[in-house]
Structure 1
């Protein structure tokens, strides 16, 4: 969890501000996953900080949403098309993909459990 928080701080993803009135603050929660190596052994435990988006309403809290992961059928179609056109395809794993997007509006989220700033609760 500390690694995830450190990454947010290093990339200056957020700034602590007093909680504004009449603004919906989105809560955060930790998701845990065990990462395995190629032999099925435990490589490491991974923590991810995610927003609880299920509390939002389309048209009020957001206008559009995006799939975080491409569907397998979409990847197959893309690779088939690239092969037909003799295109070169590269694969990469972006650890902090959503951090690189630009927001058009201000978003307020609560501080993650276990990492609440005492000077700015």
Structure 2
């Protein structure tokens, strides 16, 4: 989600005195993550460990990333809230990468430490 994503809402919400029919969701920044101090998902301990959005955290990200107050987030149709929550969750998950082991050319060579 590098470009802002436009969401057409099923039902308009009121934000800052205006009727809002679509939201522009920008990509989260490090500042957003630090301000909210939580990731928008957990991995389920039951079943196959699939990610599950955390509604309260997702609401905070929707508010920050779409630039609307939390009161407007509370007005969202459930289907809109769910779609936005998964969009945010997937944005974080797509950036997960399994760290690779450094190759011998990537690591400085150090002499072994002897026990003597």
Do Structure 1 and Structure 2 share a fold, with TM-score over 0.5? no
Select the structure that is richer in helix.
2
Give the TM-score category using the shorter length.
under 0.3
TM-score by length of 2: 0.25
Q: Report the structure number with the largest CA radius of gyration.
A: 2
TM-score by length of 1: 0.24
Select the structure that is richer in strand.
2
Higher relative contact order (Cα pairs below 8 Å, separated by 6+ residues): 1
